[in-house]
Amino acid sequence: MTHRIAIAGSSGRMGRMLIEAVMAADDCTLAGALDLPTSPALGQDAAAFLGQESGVKITADLREGLAGADVLIDFTRPEGTLAHLAVCRELGVKAVIGTTGFTDAQKAEIDAVAQQVAVVMAPNMSVGVNVVLKLLDMAARALSEGYDIEIVEAHHRHKVDAPSGTALKMGEVVAAALGRDLKECAVYGREGVTGERDPSTIGFATVRGGDIVGDHTVLFAGTGERIEITHKSSSRATYAQGSLRAVRFLAGRPSGLFGMDDVLGMR
């Protein structure tokens, strides 16, 4: 079976990594390449940066870019992703969403779209990160008393949201395992005289700089010992390969909202 894939944000860093992965996959073909109306890459072959020809031109016309696709892979911005999904629903195109920074209301919009077309949405498409999420659930249950929990994440200087979607997902997994609501126990910044640490909280620290692809560490700090569960990405290729696994998972699924735990059979 050949999976016909359209890529959103096709001239960006992640978009190009996705195009390269699609071009290299035996069971995938590039069917569309979308970008902003202001992109200087409009009209160019989507694989030109690889020194190859895909026969697909980069376009800002959503219907044109999605017309021949089975699935859209989208790692853009929340507003753009929602606009793309509206057309996906209209055309019956499935979606793999790696965009982060959605509000609860926007997540509800995605859930509504998924009632008609199948969607995989995850704050991180890396297989390794999703295995780490399972490890965190187990660790949090075992270390539920006597351990302070802190989440530290680092990304490149261009990332616009903080904490990262992956860090927040890690916090949600840990909080759920402890029977807490992350919205009520998260601490996102400390400055000045803060007083002693509240043991019921989950702390977040954010680092932005250089070209860091993505580092995440969850620290369980107890008396006399510390347990650290860390994932470090050295290349965006891991997100691209995870996205293709999500595309393959969606084949034969007409509707529904899924996560990477579904894709990897870990739910």
Taking the CB of residue 25, how many other CB atoms lie within 10 A of it?
18
3-class SS letters over the chain: CCEEEEECCCCCHHHHHHHHHHHHCCCEEEEEEECCCCCCCCCCECCHHHCCCCCCEEECCHHHHHCCCCEEEECCCHHHHHHHHHHHHHHCCEEEECCCCCCHHHHHHHHHHCCCCCEEECCCCCHHHHHHHHHHHHHHHHCCCCCEEEEEEEECCCCCCCCCHHHHHHHHHHHHHCCCCHHHHEECCCCCCCCCCCCCCEEEEEEECCCCCEEEEEEEECCCCEEEEEEEECCCHHHHHHHHHHHHHHCCCCCCEECHHHHCCCC
Distance from C-alpha of 230 to C-alpha of 239, rounded to nearest angstrom? 17
Return all residues near 171 (Cβ < 8 A) that are at least 6 apart: 151, 163, 182, 186, 202, 204
Query: Which is the catalytic residue, given 3, 84, 94, 155?
Result: 155
Active site residue 155: yes
Whether the bond into 163 is cis, omega within 30 of 0: yes
The set of catalytic residues is: 155, 159
